[in-house]
Structure 1
Amino acid sequence: MVTLSTIHQPQLTETTGRYEIKNKPLAVIHYIKVMLGVDHLDQLLSYFPMRRKSQKWWEKLFFHLLTLVGVQITILLNKHHTQHRTRRKNLASVLKEVSVALVDKDITYIPQADNVPLPMDRLKGRHFQH
């Protein structure tokens, strides 16, 4: 394996793998140590791609952030389940439960807008007849 780094010295370090001791470059060991959470998050995001065929950049960003939040909720929920020794859940079931809870939410109070009269000069723009 060839690596190029301006920070690390070009030396190999012994690491313990599952079955054997391996020699890895110091740059690779540092990368694995720092990027572990990011790689795991990218792996979880790849299981549920929410990409849409759309030209609108904000839709792609919205669905990506929505998936990201779902993954984070699942991680936090599973930490809680692990601590209390209850059954862990996968991302699909967590997203389904959250969406069902939001849809089934009983809305008993709908705030009413104040009945403030609009100024008449506002309605005399180019879209309204005089």
Structure 2
Amino acid sequence: MHGKKDNAVEKKLGEGVVKDLTENIKVNPSRKSLPMLKSDKEMKRGDYDWATSNTGLSVMKWKDKRSVHPLSNFHDPTQTTEVTRKEKDGNEIKVSCPIGLSGYNANMNCVDKFDQLEGVYETDRKSRKWWHRIFWYFIDATMVNASIIHKETKLPKMTLKDFRREITRDLVAPALVASRGKKRSLNSHLQFNKKKPNVPKSVRLESSSHQPGRSTRRCAACSSKKQQICTDWMCSVRKVPLCLGKRKTCFQDYHAS
């Protein structure tokens, strides 16, 4: 188990997990069934030896300061390249190196680089459902990988931030266009204003004295002998009882006529 040891947070968690998972598959040169390659005494810096299995697995041994034993089912063990090394006196020299090992050295930091890029604009969201975090991680991983591929093309270069913005615009644009077109077709004859209504002072104060007041008598507009309707409101100037409510417009109708 990883994560905590003796109630303390474990450091280098990723490294520990990888080491535990690969404990049983470490490349031991003396392991049974591995071919016998040149001994360290027979090799100088830059020398290498190799052998292949009938399944296409290559076993290599390269002498640097120490012997390195890589395995590969992808690289041709006969192909070599050159790497730069420093001597004790500070001078740099070129030494031969299997191409499989140079490829490993060139890309061994890609995981760290990927984690760095993935964490810059992380789309992580707290959730009670554990799989939500995995889902958002896959989205971020896809974004990072796509941006790396984009840099390898002849298209104009852009930062990861701008690349994510462009992807987001492309994903939401069709939905926005469709929704906006639908709203325009339904409400093309309407004009909405989210601000507070701006009524001129001359209009707002016109007949301002005719304000609703309290009353307990029958409405002068809608009440009759057959159906008597009392109201709680009346015109404060004319002292006329008038209905005022969601479904009653007696007050407005009385002053409009």
TM-score w.r.t. the length of structure 1 is 0.52
Moved >4 Å (runs of 4+): 29-34
Report whether the alignment pairs 1:38 with 2:38.
no
* 1:1-130 → structure 2 map (5 Å cutoff): 6-7=26-27, 12-13=65-66, 16=85, 32=105, 35-80=108-153, 84=154, 87-105=156-174
By relative contact order (CA 8 Å, sep 6+), the higher-ranking structure is 1
Aligned equivalents of 1:20, 1:42: Cα separation in 2: 35
The structure with more radius of gyration: 2
Alpha-carbon offset, residue 32 of structure 1: 4.4
Query: Residues 89 and 53 (structure 1 numbering): CA distance in 2 closer, same or farther, change over 3 Å?
Result: same
Structure 1: state its 5+ residue gaps. Answer: 22-28, 108-130
Structure 2: state its 5+ residue gaps. Answer: 1-18, 30-63, 67-82, 93-101, 179-257
How well do the aligned residues superpose, as a CA RMSD in angstroms? Answer: 3.6
Alpha-carbon offset, residue 39 of structure 1: 2.3
Query: Residues 8 and 46 (structure 1 numbering): CA distance in 2 closer, same or farther, change over 3 Å?
Result: farther
TM-score w.r.t. the length of structure 2 is 0.29
SS of corresponding position for 2:27: coil
Alpha-carbon offset, residue 101 of structure 1: 1.3
Q: Deviations over 1:61-118 (max 9, x none)?
A: 11100000000110111110xxx3x5411221111111111211255xxxxxxxxxxx
Alpha-carbon offset, residue 54 of structure 1: 1.8
Identity among equivalent pairs (%): 23
Q: 1 or 2, which has the higher strand percentage? A: 2
Aligned equivalents of 1:63, 1:91: Cα separation in 2: 17
Q: How many residues were matched structurally? A: 92
